[in-house]
Structures are given as structure tokens and as C-alpha cells.
Amino acid sequence: MENQGQESETQQQKWEADSPALAGISGRARLMVGDEGLGVLVVDDGHLSLKPDGGSADVTIVCATREDLVRLLRGELHPVVAALRGQVYQRGDRAFGVKVVLGLRAGSPFVHTPFDGKDA
């Protein structure tokens, strides 16, 4: 029983940070790898939070692999090159999606965030 409580606490944890490059921008971007929804990146005037997938989103960012998504969030993957290679595409408000991705390239708080045990 104790493990179940710990598991639900882990699932409820949220990640939040500020990105000065995204100041003045607000909206919701659903993050997906293939057909699997991984969560929603909520941008509120430069404040970012990752939330469980659910609710509406202004744009859906779909990546071919999890590694592509991590590199995109860290600002390491150029969005235009990735789109031309078929690694990333967007549905919905693409203008908002481009602003978010380019803002992350300018200064991503995800750079030092481990996404799993392999990431440092």
C-alpha cells in the first residue's frame, strides 16, 4: 500500500521554470512522440510548466522519437531542419509553436533537466 501512495505522488509532480526568451508568450503546446501524448507544456508569459496530457492545446508538437523531443525541448534540435527531415511536425497554431520552439533555442530551462536515468 505504501508504494501505491509514492507512485501517485510521483505522477502528480509537476515541473516548472522560467524562460526569459518566452516573456510575453502564453499558450499550451501538447507534446507527442508518434501517437503517444506525453504531456502539455503550458507557457504563461515566460513561465513554463509541464502538466499531464489533457485538456485543450493551441498547438500539438509531434516528434518521431523521444530523443528528438528531448533535443527539441533543450534547444539542441533546429526546428526547421527537423521539420525538413520529418523528425518534427506541428498541428494547430503553428505560429505559437514556432515561437515556443525558437524561444527554447534562445534559452531553454530544460538544458540541465534529466528526462530519465540516461540523461544528465
pTM for the full predicted model = 0.80
pLDDT of 93 strictly over 70: yes
DSSP string covering 38-82: EEEEEEETTEEEEE-S-S--SEEEEESSHHHHHHHHTT-S-HHHH
At residue 120 the predicted structure's pLDDT band, cuts being 50, 70 and 90, is very low
pLDDT of 115 strictly over 80: no
Q: Residue 54 has what pLDDT?
A: 79
Q: Residue 7 has what pLDDT?
A: 39
Q: What are the tens digits of pLDDT across the range 48-66?
A: 998 987 789 999 999 999 9
